[in-house]
Structure 1
Amino acid sequence: MPLRLEPTLREQISSADRTLFGGWICSGSPVAAEIMAGAGLDWLLIDMEHAPNGLESVLAHLHAVSGYGSTPVVRVPVGETVTVKQVLDLGAQNILVPMVSTAEQAREVAAMAQYPPAGVRGVGSALARSARWNRVPQYLQNGAEHVSVFVQIETAEGISNAAEIAAVEGIDGVFCGPSDLAASMGLIGQQTHPDVIAKVKDAFTAVTAAGKPAGVNAFDPQAAQDYVAAGASYVLVGADVALIARGSEKLAADYIPEQPKEQ
């Protein structure tokens, strides 16, 4: 029986009448991924850059979230042709590539996600979950329709090149990373510094002017709402590990008596 794949994040953003809010899965646990997927978030980021995830665990995460309504996005560890090919072959329909600072880098990323002649993605759909082992009709011919490609701007250089990056054909959106951006600006650990926030908003202006959606990572609720007001189409507002860390700390504080300080 012919199969139809799920709508991509590109399609979800295009049809949405509000900002889409997502959760970050950094624990490497498919159980945590399923818990996050069942919470009602619009989208989920399965991380390979700063999380203990390889191909097998990413596949397990994709399986775990597949029964729910949240759209999964896989952040690959690096913009590298083989890695992108393998993640797409696992059935990831949405990828985020970190540390893209120039239009040339963006063009290389776009090519990695498309089959020839438009790109350089290796052909293996008959062997892979991406086309459900040739059960998705015309997958090779229509592969670009089933995949959305987002790039992450995380440096001051990237902000200055945001318009050119967003204009690259095959790039479906730009995601800003304030933490690394702050570091590149000499403000490490200060992702809510006014100068960092201003740079992110500059990127929003450039990206949306190019006709592409702009997104951002913002765990601080006030910063998140500020970015929404500034035009963010999709925002990461929390992570599984952060929720566990803060929740477990509250348990300890609520139930364990504070030890008296030594005089």
Structure 2
Amino acid sequence: MKRNIAKQKLKAGELVFGGWITLPCPAAAEVMALAGFDFLVIDTEHGAINVESVQAILQAMGGTDVAPIVRLAGSQRMFANKILDTGPLGIIVPMVSSREDAEATVSAALYPPEGTRGIGLGRAEGYELDRREEYLKVANEEMLVAVQVEHRDGIACIEEIVAVPGIDLVFLGPADLAGSMGYRTQPGHPDVAKAIDRVAQAARRAKIPVGIPVSGPEDLARRVTQGFQFFHIGVDTVYLGGACRRGLREAQEAGAAALAAGVQAP
């Protein structure tokens, strides 16, 4: 079974860098996987991605070392089973705002006795052909279980959330957190910053790595000093759009400069 390099690095206290996949395009996901990220999150919450697309994307990433993680649309056990049977090495459950939410996340992600995940016949289990027994032995160990805290209710009981056994990562959602606090367009508001720091401190006291999206090198460096380890540094659509804009701008500037220099006479 493929090993989870992101989880291994987190356990070793190393920094982990990854991106977000929102497009149902296996080829684009493969390109990102080949770029050298530690992890890639396939986003079924906000991305236009269904279970079939998740499996196709995972198959495209199969020849790389990247740890594929799926952000679920919720913590419902039946939906989690379908996603987990496609073979990711981790899940992120959004809007975890209570101890009960956190317990449901762990329960859905892990096989008994640690959880209640059902045993299927899907890609993860090798379609019951030649690797099912091996997978069942190590699946819980390799699975990265992440709770996403992104609401003021989650901040209020963060100490209870991080006390739940089986959580490998607490991931912050600053934008939705700011919205829940009345600062929808101000994720950098001082009150939001205090809430984020409270989560980071609680997670660190519980010896659980904490992650967050970052907007660039300076933001990342600041978060490293705050004890964050797991960094979401970019999105497929933003990378694509940015490259297109940059390429077009460079072509326009080069063309304009050439015209200004004069066109050779025929």
TM-score of Structure 1 vs Structure 2, range by shorter chain: 0.7 to 0.9
1:129 and 2:126 are equivalent in the alignment:
no
Structure 2 alignment gaps of length 5 or more: 254-266
Task: Please tell me the residue identity of whatever aligns with 2:3.
Answer: E
1:52 to 16, 28, 48: 48
1:167 and 2:163 are equivalent in the alignment:
yes
2:3 to 3, 6, 19: 6
How big is the shift at 1:69?
A: 2.2
- Cα-to-partner distance string for 1:180-201 (whole Å, 9 max, x where unaligned): 1111111113223333233212
Which of 82-91 and 219-228 deviates more? 219-228
Task: Please tell me the residue identity of whatever aligns with 2:110.
Answer: Q
Mapping 1:108-147, distance limit 5 Å: 108-124=104-120, 127-134=121-128, 135-140=131-136, 142-147=138-143
Distance (whole Å) between structure 2 residues aligned to residue 122 and residue 82 of structure 1: 9
Q: TM-score normalized by structure 1? A: 0.88
How big is the shift at 1:15?
A: 2.5
Distance (whole Å) between structure 2 residues aligned to residue 62 and residue 140 of structure 1: 19
Distance 1:66 1:189, change over 3 A: farther
Which residue number in structure 2 is paired with residue 209 of structure 1? Answer: 205
Distance (whole Å) between structure 1 residues aligned to residue 139 and residue 16 of structure 2: 24
Task: Please tell me the residue identity of whatever aligns with 2:12.
Answer: S
Q: TM-score normalized by structure 2? A: 0.87
Distance (whole Å) between structure 2 residues aligned to residue 10 and residue 128 of structure 1: 23
How big is the shift at 1:149?
A: 0.9
- Cα-to-partner distance string for 1:64-106 (whole Å, 9 max, x where unaligned): 1121222111111111111111111111121111110111110
How big is the shift at 1:20?
A: 0.7
Residue 91 of structure 1 aligns to a residue in which SS? coil
Distance (whole Å) between structure 2 residues aligned to residue 87 and residue 153 of structure 1: 21
Distance (whole Å) between structure 2 residues aligned to residue 8 and residue 78 of structure 1: 25
Mapping 1:229-244, distance limit 5 Å: 229-244=225-240
Kept in 2, the 8 Å contact 1:102–1:158? The answer is yes
Mapping 1:34-49, distance limit 5 Å: 34-49=30-45
Residue 238 of structure 1 aligns to a residue in which SS? strand
Which residue number in structure 2 is paired with residue 261 of structure 1? Answer: none
Which residue number in structure 2 is paired with residue 260 of structure 1? Answer: none
Kept in 2, the 8 Å contact 1:151–1:174? The answer is yes
Distance 1:129 1:12, change over 3 A: farther
Task: Please tell me the residue identity of whatever aligns with 2:197.
Answer: K
- Cα-to-partner distance string for 1:115-154 (whole Å, 9 max, x where unaligned): 3344322222xx1221223414354455422322111000
How big is the shift at 1:157?
A: 1.6
Distance (whole Å) between structure 2 residues aligned to residue 10 and residue 160 of structure 1: 27
Kept in 2, the 8 Å contact 1:192–1:223? The answer is no
Determine what percentage of the aligned residue pairs are the same residue.
36
**Which of these two proteins has the greater Rg computed from alpha carbons?**
2
1:19 and 2:22 are equivalent in the alignment:
no
- Cα-to-partner distance string for 1:18-56 (whole Å, 9 max, x where unaligned): 311111111221111111111112211111111011111
1:86 and 2:82 are equivalent in the alignment:
yes
Kept in 1, the 8 Å contact 2:6–2:38? The answer is no
Residue 133 of structure 2 aligns to a residue in which SS? coil
Task: Please tell me the residue identity of whatever aligns with 2:17.
Answer: F
Kept in 1, the 8 Å contact 2:169–2:209? The answer is yes
Which residue number in structure 1 is paired with residue 220 of structure 2? Answer: 224
Distance (whole Å) between structure 1 residues aligned to residue 46 and residue 248 of structure 2: 27
Distance (whole Å) between structure 1 residues aligned to residue 5 and residue 85 of structure 2: 15
Task: Please tell me the residue identity of whatever aligns with 1:156.
Answer: R
Distance (whole Å) between structure 2 residues aligned to residue 117 and residue 91 of structure 1: 20
Residue 190 of structure 1 aligns to a residue in which SS? coil
Distance (whole Å) between structure 2 residues aligned to residue 150 and residue 11 of structure 1: 14
